[in-house]
Chain A
């Protein structure tokens, strides 16, 4: 892992650490619950869990302001929770119910919230990259100082449209942060088996785009890098590339047997690099929170997630008329 040591991290308040802990834990517990509901047949189709990568979205959201936009791939539940979308609405979309963000018509991979400036949720690998640059194009055109976070994985990083977008984003100085969530595996193909590039962010140099690799398991490092990237974009010096070195603990999707890596490799990441454990340690070792404080948060998050699952089970399926709505504005 091309990691920055957390030693040079900025000062961080107890409140902020607790916020990070809470937000990352929400994503993890939510995803565990989603996995459970999938196993019960309540969630259908493809379901890509974000467990392991929580620090990336939580850290970057801490660098964002109201009005900033985000867009990502089909592994999108974490991004939605991190930008303030309601867990109930997300879970109900997973179960295909009317209470979901897309009235049950989008599912796990296609969810949106105009209110929270979340532009999907895209099932075509790499498509969100030019789409995200287009959101930034609009903001620049309209003359505001909003920034768009366009998230994509190490797999999407080999798509041609990513580089078409790099070229135009730099040509037009678009305020977009390209966030490569390098979780080491594009479905079952490791980065090493898909490219000889030593790093993915450095490919931006061919287009004149600045960037860096970041320890994506360290929420404080993520936030610091995000602030730098966002500042560059707001100053008219975008775009910017952040390659988040991260790891997903679960399979690519729920139906992935994960034979392409060893159990030991996963265990090692969980025990040595876990993003939530890291913040937990900072809180406890720094004397900023007690075991009981954290247990109270755990309990609160568990209740919130259970509530979302109950809502997702009880929310009715969309009425049949919904088949024919929302095709044309």
Chain B
């Protein structure tokens, strides 16, 4: 019986990849465990092993093919004496297979968002651009934008350096720092042992000693080991020293849920860090946000918590090509103008907010979508001005509900725009549970487009 070899998912968030190289040809015999191909994901080039034994009857996807979706048949293995033609025809709808149902894209990302990354305008909400009209742009992923921001700032200031786990020789656990070691050398792209508490402290000390460290946490979940230095050492020292000594540095890395990595790898820390005086907190959504905000963060004389999102890393957006493009902190952007309701969000929450706005538009509800960009400082004025216009507000984030950014905004709006409100502010958040592993439960634990739609309808009394 002929066996199909399917395009594998090689990371929790992989949706597709490039079949970089076949290491076998038709007619070759393969053993289980034999490396048969090299597959390039958006993070790394991985070797792909055969599971079954047999003879390569047919290679269905030519090497060099990009955008091969997970679970697409890529080869057929036949048993001795069997013809490759005996193999079932390539499945047209891999999503029907049980593995595809568990594919990461299905877990937390609206279907529309899972469109191939290769398409330039893959992200929901785009081109509802907040960029100035007429500005020249180029398409790049959030990942490329972050890398470009670091590279540009490292070129501009010799005291900027990057440290963290796997940032150098491995080229970045999520490929953010790919190529930086080659350009800047091991002095400025510093691989650390797995020791978050220790290297976070060393980085804070280095910032007092005249350097401008960028600390990459492989994920912000691991920053829990180091949080004492982020808060007690980095955030408070300027105040405790009567203004003598600040900590000009950036702590960055993926934050929040990725896909199917469960409770200890899926927390959104936005509200935690946003609660701390002395810190600045940025959370980009688009590639333009990522580049402009990270450059601002690196130049800022204060400690900046820079919360990225693994699912957004591979998304493409338009980024201005102007030299030295930066985005100031404390300035929200209006991603989509509207008149009936204000939807405030940040980071990946905007994928739900923007998708909900699309759906609501079809039903005649005009939603104004605000991208906060930074959570400390927070742009209250833009939010309040919008709420005073629409008289309704829904907030969207993936973090826990208690003490959320949405809670804080609701309180602020109540205090400063009470008479303008026609309905209570509704917070769409992650659920009040540790993140479950099961795909269906994970989806339920995060906020959804449907919840945002329902929340908007409720505040519009529709």
Contacts and interface: CB of A to CB of B under 8 A. Distances in A.
Interface of A: 69, 71, 100-106, 110-114, 119-124, 127, 129-139, 141-142, 160-161, 164-165, 167-168, 171, 325-329
A112 B244 contact: yes
B26 interface: no
Contacts of A133: 201-202, 205
Contacts of A129: 201
A126 to B, nearest CB: 9
Nearest to B192: A168
A121 B239 CA distance: 13
A138 B211 contact: yes
B233 A127 contact: yes
B239 A327 contact: yes
A268 to B, nearest CB: 38
Contact of A326 (B206, B243, B301): B243
B132 interface: no
B296 to A, nearest CB: 14
A134 B302 contact: no
B182 interface: no
Given A137-B202, A168-B195, 5 more contacts: A124-B228, A131-B233, A138-B208, A138-B210, A165-B198
Contact of B202 (A71, A105, A168): A168
Interface in B191-234: 192-193, 195, 197-211, 228-229, 232-233
A64 B201 CA distance: 24
Given A102-B241, A161-B198, A326-B239, A137 B229 contact: no
Contact of A161 (B197, B210, B242): B197
B237 A120 contact: yes
Nearest to A110: B240
A190 B241 CA distance: 32
B256 interface: no
B203 A134 contact: yes
Contacts of B246: 329
B207 A134 contact: yes
A1 B342 CA distance: 71
B238 interface: yes
B277 interface: yes
A165 B238 contact: no
7 contacts: A105-B240, A112-B241, A119-B205, A130-B205, A135-B208, A142-B209, A161-B198
A329 B197 CA distance: 25
B306 interface: no
A137 B198 CA distance: 13
Contacts of A71: 205
B174 interface: no
A134 B205 contact: yes
B248 interface: yes
Given A130-B229, A168-B202, A139 B243 contact: no
A119 B197 contact: no
Contacts of B210: 138, 142
Contacts of B199: 130, 164, 168
A100 B237 CA distance: 15
B251 interface: no
A131 B207 CA distance: 9
A175 B187 CA distance: 16
B248 to A, nearest CB: 7
Contact of B245 (A114, A122, A136): A114
B206 A161 contact: no
A85 to B, nearest CB: 12
A63 to B, nearest CB: 20
B206 A134 contact: yes
A149 to B, nearest CB: 13
B27 to A, nearest CB: 50
Contacts of A325: 243
A130 B238 contact: no
B317 interface: no
Contacts of B207: 134, 138
A131 B201 contact: yes
A311 B197 CA distance: 40
Interface string B234-262: 00011111111110100000000000000
Contacts of A327: 238-239, 277-278
Contacts of B273: none
Contacts of B237: 112, 120
Contacts of B209: 69, 134-139, 142
B161 interface: yes
A324 to B, nearest CB: 10
Nearest to A318: B242
A164 B200 CA distance: 11
A129 B202 CA distance: 8
Interface in B150-204: 159, 161, 187, 192-193, 195, 197-204
Which 9 A/B pairs are nearest by Cβ-Cβ distance? A134-B205, A138-B209, A130-B201, A164-B198, A103-B242, A112-B241, A329-B301, A102-B242, A326-B243
A62 to B, nearest CB: 23
Nearest to B248: A329
Contact of B197 (A101, A111, A142, A164): A164
A127 B202 contact: no
B241 A110 contact: yes
A90 B248 CA distance: 26
A132 B204 CA distance: 9
B193 A167 contact: yes
A130 B202 contact: yes
B206 A137 contact: yes
A122 B205 CA distance: 12
A111 to B, nearest CB: 8
Contacts of A130: 197-202, 204-205, 229
Interface in B2-48: none
A127 B248 contact: no
B202 A134 contact: yes
